Structure 1
Amino acid sequence: MNSKNHKSDILDYIEYLSFAIILCLSIYSVFHNLIVGIGGLVFLGVLVFLFASRKKRDDLLWKKRMQEMSFKLAKLSKKSLLGIPLPICVLELNGDISWSNSSFDRMVGVPEGKTAIGISLDDLVGEITLRKILDESKVIEDEFEFKGRKYMLNYSFTKLNEDSNDNSSDYKIIVYWIDNTELEDLKQKYEDDREVVMIIEVDGYEDVIKSTPEENRSILSMKIEKTLSEIEAETKGLMKKIYNDRYILFMRKSEFKLIEKGKFAILDKARQIDCENSLPVSFSIGVGYGGNTIEETGDFASGAIDMVLGRGGDQVAIKNQEGYNFYGGKSKNFERKTKVRSRLIGVALKEIINQSDKILIMGHSYPDMDAMGAAVGIYDMCKFYGKKANIVLDNVNEAVEIFINRLKEKEYYEGLFISHERAIDMCDAKTLVVVLDTHRPSYTECEELLDISKRVVVIDHHRRGVEYIHDTILLFHEVYVSSTCEMVTELIQYTDNNIKINKLTAEGLLGGVYLDTKNFEFKTGVRTFEAAAFLRNLGADTLAVKKFFDSYAEDFLIKADIIKKTKIIDNKICISYSLEEINNINLIVAKAADELLNIKSIEASFVLGIKGDTVFISARSIGNINVHVIMEKLGGGGHIDIAGAQIKDLTISQAYDMLKDTIMEYLEEE
Structure 2
Amino acid sequence: MGNKRFSKLFIPDTKIHLGIMTLLVMIIAYYNLLIGSIGILLLVYFVYYNFKTQYNRKEMWTKYIEDLSYNMDSVTKYAVLNMPIPLVVIEFDGTISWYNAKFSEMIHTKDILEKSIEDLISSLHMNQIFEQKENAIIEVDINEKHYKILYDIVKTSKAYDERYMIMMYFIDHTNFENLKIKYNDERPVVILVQIDNYDDVLKDTAEEDRPLVIAEMNKKISIWGSRMNAIVKQHQKDHYIMILEHQYLDMLEAKKFTILDEVREIQRGNKIPITLSIGVGASGKTLSQTYEYAKAAMDLSLGRGGDQAVVKKISTLNFYGGKTKAVEKSNKVKARVIAHALRQLIDQSKFVIIMGHKFPDMDSLGAALGVYRAALNRGKDAYIILDKVNDEVKNLWEHIKEKGKYNFITSEEAISKMSEEALLVVVDTHRPSFTQCPELLNKRERIVLIDHHRRGSEFIDQAVLIYLEPYASSTCELVSEILQYMDEKIHIEKIEAEALLAGISVDTKNFSFKTGVRTFEAASWLRRVGADTTNVRQFFQDDLKTFVAIADVVKNAKEIRKNMALSICAKEMENTSLVVAQAADELLNIRGITASFVLGVRENDEIIISGRSLGDINVQLILEKLGGGGHLTVAGTQLTGMTVEEATDKLEQSIDEYLEEGEQS
Q: Same fold (TM over 0.5)?
A: yes
8 Å Cα contact 1:359/1:433 also seen in 2: yes
Aligned to 1:3: none
- Counterpart CA distance in 1 for 2:271 and 2:585 is 30
Aligned to 1:74: 73
- Counterpart CA distance in 2 for 1:652 and 1:572 is 22
Structure 2, unpaired ranges of 5+: 1-7
1:322 aligns with 2:321: no
Choose 469-478 or 583-592, whichever is displaced more.
583-592
1:12 Cα deviation from its structure 2 partner: 9.6
1:656 aligns with 2:648: yes
- Counterpart CA distance in 2 for 1:22 and 1:123 is 79
Indicate the SS of the match to 2:127: coil
Q: TM-score, normalised by structure 2?
A: 0.92
Aligned to 2:121: 125
For 2:140, the aligned partner's letter is F
Choose 444-453 or 132-141, whichever is displaced more.
132-141
Residues 348-369 of structure 1 show CA distances to partners (whole Å, capped at 9, x for unaligned) of 2122222221111111111110
Structure 1, unpaired ranges of 5+: 1-8
- Counterpart CA distance in 2 for 1:590 and 1:265 is 34
Residues 359-401 of structure 1 show CA distances to partners (whole Å, capped at 9, x for unaligned) of 1111111111000001111111222222221111111111112
For 1:217, the aligned partner's letter is R
Aligned to 2:253: 260
Matches within 5 A, 1:14-413: 14-15=13-14, 17-18=16-17, 50-110=49-109, 115-126=111-122, 128-133=124-129, 138-161=134-157, 163-164=158-159, 167=162, 170-411=163-404
Aligned to 1:5: none
8 Å Cα contact 2:587/2:596 also seen in 1: yes
1:76 Cα deviation from its structure 2 partner: 2.8
- Counterpart CA distance in 2 for 1:552 and 1:512 is 20
1:193 Cα deviation from its structure 2 partner: 1.0
Residues 417-450 of structure 1 show CA distances to partners (whole Å, capped at 9, x for unaligned) of 1122221122112311111000111111112222
8 Å Cα contact 1:431/1:454 also seen in 2: no
Choose 505-514 or 81-90, whichever is displaced more.
81-90
1:647 aligns with 2:639: yes
1:514 Cα deviation from its structure 2 partner: 0.8
For 2:238, the aligned partner's letter is D
8 Å Cα contact 1:133/1:156 also seen in 2: no
8 Å Cα contact 1:287/1:317 also seen in 2: yes
Indicate the SS of the match to 1:519: coil
1:123 Cα deviation from its structure 2 partner: 4.0
Distance 1:536 1:129, change over 3 A: same
Choose 505-514 or 47-56, whichever is displaced more.
47-56
Aligned to 2:657: 665
Choose 541-550 or 320-329, whichever is displaced more.
320-329
For 2:78, the aligned partner's letter is K
- Counterpart CA distance in 2 for 1:428 and 1:34 is 116
Indicate the SS of the match to 1:657: helix
8 Å Cα contact 1:287/1:304 also seen in 2: yes
Distance 1:369 1:13, change over 3 A: farther
Distance 1:559 1:182, change over 3 A: same
8 Å Cα contact 2:192/2:279 also seen in 1: yes
- Counterpart CA distance in 2 for 1:590 and 1:176 is 62
For 1:557, the aligned partner's letter is V
Distance 1:235 1:94, change over 3 A: same
- Counterpart CA distance in 2 for 1:191 and 1:472 is 35
Query: Which residue of 584, 589, 598 maps to 1:593?
Result: 584
Query: Which residue of 517, 538, 546 maps to 1:547?
Result: 538
Residues 557-602 of structure 1 show CA distances to partners (whole Å, capped at 9, x for unaligned) of 3333433443322222222223425553122211111122222222
Q: TM-score, normalised by structure 1?
A: 0.91
- Counterpart CA distance in 1 for 2:317 and 2:9 is 73
Aligned to 2:3: none
8 Å Cα contact 2:569/2:579 also seen in 1: no
- Counterpart CA distance in 1 for 2:34 and 2:410 is 117
Aligned to 1:636: 628
Choose 122-131 or 254-263, whichever is displaced more.
122-131
For 1:548, the aligned partner's letter is F
Aligned to 2:526: 535
Residues 14-34 of structure 1 show CA distances to partners (whole Å, capped at 9, x for unaligned) of 445556666777899999999
Indicate the SS of the match to 1:199: strand
Query: Which residue of 498, 503, 519 maps to 1:512?
Result: 503
Count matched residues.
Answer: 654
Aligned to 1:494: 485
Indicate the SS of the match to 1:235: coil
8 Å Cα contact 1:397/1:583 also seen in 2: no
For 2:607, the aligned partner's letter is V
- Counterpart CA distance in 1 for 2:556 and 2:132 is 57
For 2:374, the aligned partner's letter is M
1:93 Cα deviation from its structure 2 partner: 3.1
For 2:407, the aligned partner's letter is L
Aligned to 1:6: none
- Counterpart CA distance in 1 for 2:159 and 2:557 is 69
Query: Which residue of 470, 473, 485 maps to 2:464?
Result: 473
Matches within 5 A, 1:556-635: 556-582=547-573, 584-611=575-602, 612-635=604-627
8 Å Cα contact 1:566/1:574 also seen in 2: yes
Distance 1:428 1:581, change over 3 A: farther
Aligned to 1:435: 426
Choose 554-563 or 502-511, whichever is displaced more.
554-563
Identity percentage of aligned residues: 41
Choose 55-64 or 222-231, whichever is displaced more.
55-64
- Counterpart CA distance in 1 for 2:638 and 2:197 is 33
Indicate the SS of the match to 1:286: strand
- Counterpart CA distance in 2 for 1:29 and 1:70 is 51
- Counterpart CA distance in 1 for 2:35 and 2:154 is 66
8 Å Cα contact 1:133/1:157 also seen in 2: no
For 1:334, the aligned partner's letter is V
Indicate the SS of the match to 2:596: strand
Residues 10-64 of structure 1 show CA distances to partners (whole Å, capped at 9, x for unaligned) of 9999445556666777899999999999998987776665545444433333332
